[in-house]
Amino acid sequence: MLLVVSTDVNQQSFNDSGTVTIKRQTAQRAPSSVTQMPESPPACVNLAKDLTARCRARALQLTDDEILSITQDLDSVIQNLCDYISKIPSSALGSNAYTGVAVKALSARGFLEDDMLTNTVKNMPNRRSFHDSNMPRLVEFLQGMYHESDEFGGQMFSSLPEVSEYIEPLYDALFCPLANEVMTDPVLTESGVTYERRAIEEYFNRFAGNSKTVICPVTKMPLQNRTLMSNSSLKSVIAEWKMRNEAMRIRIARTALSLSSMDAIVLEAIHELMSLVELRRKNREHMHKIGVTRFLARLLDNNNVQIRRSALELLCLLVEDEEGKDIIGKTKAIPRTIKLLSSNGTDERDAAISFLLELSKSPLLLEDIGSTAGSILILTTMKINDSDDPTAAQKAGEVLKNLEKCSKNIKYMAESGYLEPLQIHLVEGSEEMQMEMVSYLGELVQEQDLTIDISGDTSGVLIKMVHSCNTVARKAALDVLVQLSSHHPNSKTLVEAGVVPVMVEELFIRKVDDDPLSYKAMAAAVLANVVESGIDPDTTVVNKEGHVLTSKYSIYNFVHMLKCFMPDELNLSVIRVLLALTAHAKPLAALVSVVRENHRGHSVVELMSSRTEALGVAATRLLITLSAHMGHTIAERLCRTQGQPRRLVRSIIRAGRATVTERHAAAVTLLSRLPFRNVSLNLALVQEGAVPAILRGIEEMRSGAARTSRHAAPYLEGLVGTLVRLTVTLYNPDVLKAAMDHDFASVLTGLLTGAAGSGGEVQRLAAVGLENLSYHSIKLSRPPPEEEPRPKKMTILMRLKDARVHNHNSKSPPLNVCPVHRGVCSPSTTFCLLEAGAVEGLLVCLENDNPRVVDAALGALCTLVDDRVDVEKAVVALVEQGAARRVLAVLRQHRENRLWQRCFSVVEKLLVHGDDGCVREVTGDRMLPTALVSAFHRGDANAKQAAESILRRLHKMPDYSATYVSLEF
């Protein structure tokens, strides 16, 4: 291509007319004005030089026809040179030294322009290839640009713009003579020379206010007129050249991007493309068309951090239009960008969030961004941790704000713990939006256990939806309220929003036929969660009449809802409400009154056997709570409920075969908490085989076979308590027989020291049981048989018979005569504590820190010094095992009135019936006087009386019962 600028200037009519003819002529193979066109390269070169000299010498005098002729001749010369070069075989070149010449020649003919890309989009039309003319590809050309030994046309290229200028050269006519830059607004002066408007105006300004004539900077001709005429033809040519040049630069840079193994080329190509994007919007469209945008998305996986960051910055510019966003949406750029959000480099992270922010402006990409794994979680983390990178946090917030426009993203945000958008749309959105948000919350509740802190506005919307006639909306709102209320910090907000009256209305007012029972169950669950959270039930109003949760109205309705045919979920929630209310004195008294008056305890007893374990446990726990106030009533209803004692015994037996559950522990705890003196329940337990099951369970727990459960300790305590309850009703023959057959005394003695991990409750219960058994020892102990006097004369027959009887009796074990009970005793038949070896264990219990354990042990020991037994022998037995020292130690450690009374009772027996050593040990204790004085001063009536009795024996107080004789002198 040759650009020839022709100007026909008429000095006289310059202001009237002036034309500039700039033409681009395409070479024709038709004959020119040159008579004979040389074919050899030297001749073509000489002819071209001659034509060039003619143009320079007569530039202003040439006519249009002459210019056209010269242009055709030059075009023919170039055509012949290209034809000649194309015929040279590639093997004749030998090296790349002539590659530059070949590229120039092909560039002049337009071949190179047709094949600039090596990796084009598949749907683009086929282009001509360099291989057709045995010329190197552009890729090889660009590779040689960065190789030290490769030169093109005798010069080295250091940048891609130089390559584009080499292929698409700049002509002198495009440059301003003053600014030496490519013109953007060319104008003609009076001299016929074209300048850049800004440059020539600055030149004219130098002569402002000066009388000197303005001289043309190029022609040195004086300018009489400073009028400037726009050279529109040249301007259009320059604009076209710029577009062609920029297109060429884009194609070269795109080709360079394919050389991804050479980081330097890729980086320079990205920077070149970035500068072109900022120049013209058309360049962005061209890059989309030739695949630059799609190729950049692949570079986000590059190992070079600079390439990744530069690619992100360029993509951020390319996706400002919808076409770029559409292209990116079809690539893997979004997940790759999400991955780069966690980059350690601040610059790369900022570039990634900026690119993602630009993508989030497209509605078509919102769902793709939100559904990408980890995107919402990373963005919310960036937004929350704003102190680490405030800029990134701000942009992350903007991205999340854009993502909210897609409702599915709001759900993804909620799953990632970012619930603010969901709550905002739930409160401020349309009715359809509110339904969608509630459904999302319902799904989240079912899928995972969310901890949600809600606002009062959100609570109000949900409560309002419960009143809605839309069944789906009501169910969804109730589901969400159940979950929200389970997070106790929300309870105050829900109560202030008015959730309690609405839920009470769902339970008490709405009929069964109006709505499914599941709605009532959910309403009861909400109430249970709210009440369990610790709110004040005495001030929580439930209806317009002013009733509160603790009023008898509420308790009555709750109790009457407990029915076996109601859903288990509903019964469970109602029992949870009642259990939570029983923590307060007023509702507990109301509950006891309602249960007694209306005989509703049967329903609770029946619910103990529910197949739903949670309901069975809750019902049992409610009965345990009520047992302290109406234990006999519950025990009688247990016995009257068909099969209930048997089911309780079976639960004990089943517990021995499997891991101890909360239900097993609750069942035996209830049996141990009910009044011990209820004969009906004790007989029912014995008849149903509870004793062997209890003993087997105790043995398994003591051996450690079933201690893996967290319910093992209360289960063992319940078993021991159930066993002890039978010792209270030994006056019943069946219970007494069971106690003898299973040797209760030995079992309880073993528990005094064998359950140290139970917190002392097992030892206390064992001591209480031994005390109950020991009270019956004096009655059960039988006197030894008296020896009959031997007759003076015995016949032989009588002697043989006597010898046979003597031999027979010698085989039986000798009878043990108990010195305390004055008869034959054994652990199984008379429950004697001495024979069972329980004294030592009871004395060890005196060292326990728990005063209840100490009190029970003292109670059992006091049965050995009762007035019905041989106290002197009992004191001897106790002193031999160190009872005095341990009893006195109790006085040092504890200050309870009951313990004082029992300790003083034992001490007094030791002082009265003990030997001199025992008396010295007791009276020599330095703590005893202090304890006696303290008890006498601050003890109750029983403790004070016991202390006074000992003080009197120690002669510390006068004996008012002594008889004085009056002597007169």
Highest-scoring range by mean pLDDT, 484-493, 749-758, 867-876: 867-876
Which segment, 700-714, 911-925, 947-961, is predicted with the most confidence on average? 911-925
Q: Which two tokens stand for residue 470?
A: 């839309």
Q: Longest C-alpha distance within the chain, in Å?
A: 190
Q: How confident is the model at residue 486 (pLDDT cuts 50, 70, 90)?
A: confident
Decide if 359 is inside a domain. Answer: no
Residue 429 CA to residue 440 CA, distance in Å, equals 14
Pairing of strands 19-24, 186-188: unpaired
Report the domain count for the chain.
Answer: 2
Q: Is 732 exposed, middle or buried (0-12, 13-18, 19+ CB in 10 A)?
A: middle
Picking from 338, 335, 315, the residue whose alpha carbon sits closest to that of residue 325 is 315
SS3 681: helix
Confidence band, pLDDT 50/70/90 cuts, at residue 8: very low
| Cα–Cα distance for residue pair 368/362, rounded to 1 Å | 11
Spatial separation of the C-alpha atoms in residues 663 and 612, rounded to whole Å: 10
Task: Name the helix (H) or strand (E) containing 102.
Answer: helix 99-109
Distance separating alpha carbons of residues 769 and 753, to the nearest angstrom: 14
Among 775, 801, 820, residue at a domain's last position: 775
The Cα-based distances of 256 to 118, 324, 435 in angstroms read 9, 21, 54
Cβ-Cβ contacts under 8 Å for 519 (sequence gap 6 or more): 474, 475, 478, 506, 510
In terms of phi and psi (left: phi > 0; alpha: psi -120 to 50; beta: otherwise), the region of 759 is: left
Return the amino acid letter for 257. Answer: L
Does residue 646 surpass a pLDDT of 60?
yes
Domain boundary among 230, 265, 295: 230
pLDDT of residue 327: 92
What are the residues whose beta carbons fall under 8 Å from the beta carbon of 41, sequence distance 6 or more? 81, 84
3-state DSSP assignment of residue 148 = coil
3-state helix, strand, coil in the chain (%, to 5): 65, 5, 35
Given this model, what pLDDT does residue 167 score? 61
What would the mean pLDDT of 359-378 be, rounded to a whole number? 91
pLDDT of residue 127: 31
Per-residue pLDDT reduced to its tens digit, 216-263:
888 888 888 888 899 888 888 888 888 888 888 888 888 888 765 678
Q: What pLDDT is recorded for position 453?
A: 67
- Cβ distance 870 to 820 under 8 Å? yes
Q: In the predicted model, is pLDDT for residue 495 greater than 80?
A: yes
Measure the CA–CA gap between 857 and 645, rounded to whole angstroms. Answer: 31
Lowest-confidence segment of 417-431, 447-461, 606-620, 741-755 by average pLDDT: 447-461
Q: What is the pLDDT of residues 55-113, one digit of tens each?
A: 655 545 556 666 667 766 776 777 777 666 656 654 554 444 344 444 444 444 433 33
CA gap 59, 85 in Å, rounded: 31
Predicted local confidence at residue 355, as pLDDT: 93
> The tokens 């040159």 sit on which residue?
34
Q: Could you tell me if 203 and 194 are in contact, meaning their C-beta atoms sit under 8 angstroms apart?
A: no
What residue spans of 690-793 are helical by DSSP H? 690-703, 712-727, 733-741, 744-754, 761-774, 777-780
Please state, in angstroms and rounded to a whole number, the distance separating the CA atoms of residues 417 and 419.
Answer: 6
Strand partners, 320: none
Q: Which of the listed residues 745, 775, 805 is the one where a domain comes to its end? A: 775
The verdict on pTM exceeding 0.85 is no
Distances in whole angstroms, Cα of residue 892 to Cα of each of 290, 402, 847, 937, 940: 98, 75, 11, 16, 18
> Is 658 a domain residue?
yes
Burial of 708 (0-12, 13-18, 19+ CB in 10 A): exposed
For the residues 305-333, what does the mean pLDDT come to? 92
Q: Which helix (H) or strand (E) holds 21?
A: strand 19-24
**% of residues, the chain, pLDDT over 90:** 25
Say if 515 falls within a structural domain.
Answer: no
Which domain covers residue 737, as residue numbers? 577-775
pLDDT at 742 over 80: yes
* Mean pLDDT taken over the chain: 78
Q: In what order do the strands lie in the sheet with 186-188?
A: 194-196, 186-188, 229-230
Per-residue tokens: 68: 């056209």
Predicted confidence band at 345 (pLDDT cuts at 50, 70, 90)? confident
Query: Quick one: pLDDT at residue 237?
Result: 86
Q: CATH number for the domain including 681?
A: 1.25.10.10
Quick one: what percent of the chain has pLDDT higher than 70? 75
Q: Which residues lie closer than 8 Å to 205 by C-beta, 6 or more apart?
A: none
- Lowest-pLDDT choice from 670-674, 718-722, 914-918: 914-918
Reported confidence tier of residue 944, pLDDT bands at 50, 70, 90: confident
Query: Is residue 67 one of the residues assigned to a domain?
Result: no
b/e 40-75 (16+ beta carbons within 10 angstroms → b): eeeebeebbeebeeebeeeeeebeeeebbbbbbbbb
Is residue 878 domain-resident? no
Q: At residue 116, does pLDDT exceed 90?
A: no
Rounded Cα distance between 355 and 341, Å, is 10
Average of per-residue pLDDT across 378-391: 85
Over residues 439-484, the pLDDT tens digits come to 777 777 666 665 666 677 777 888 888 877 677 778 888 888 888 8
Local confidence band at 512 (pLDDT 50, 70, 90 cut-offs): very low
pLDDT per residue over 316-328, tens digit each? 999 999 999 999 9
Q: Which amino acid is at 206?
A: R
Confidence of residue 131 (pLDDT cuts 50, 70, 90): very low
Average of per-residue pLDDT across 871-898: 89
Q: What is the CATH number of the domain that holds 219?
A: 3.30.40.10
Highest mean pLDDT among 380-394, 457-471, 549-563: 549-563
What number of residues does the chain have? 969
**Are 844 and 806 in contact, with CB atoms under 8 Å apart?**
no
Confidence check: pLDDT of 37 > 50: no
pLDDT of residue 672: 92
Give the residue carrying structure tokens 């074990």.
813
* 149 three-state secondary structure: coil
Quote the pLDDT of residue 385.
84
Lowest mean pLDDT among 135-149, 384-398, 663-677, 807-821: 135-149
Say what the pLDDT of residue 107 is: 43
Nearest-5° angle of CA 712, CA 713, CA 715? Answer: 65
Higher pLDDT, 946 or 158: 946
Round to the nearest angstrom and report the end-to-end CA distance of the chain.
Answer: 168
Q: Which residue did the predictor score with more confidence, 330 or 652?
A: 330
How far does Cα 407 stand from its chain's mean position? 22
- Domain presence at residue 445: no
Asked whether residue 199 is assigned to any structural domain, the reply reads yes
Residue 30 domain flag: no
Asked if the model's pLDDT at residue 927 lies above 60, the reply is yes
Strand partners, 188: 194, 229
What is residue 165's predicted lDDT score, i.e. its pLDDT? 60
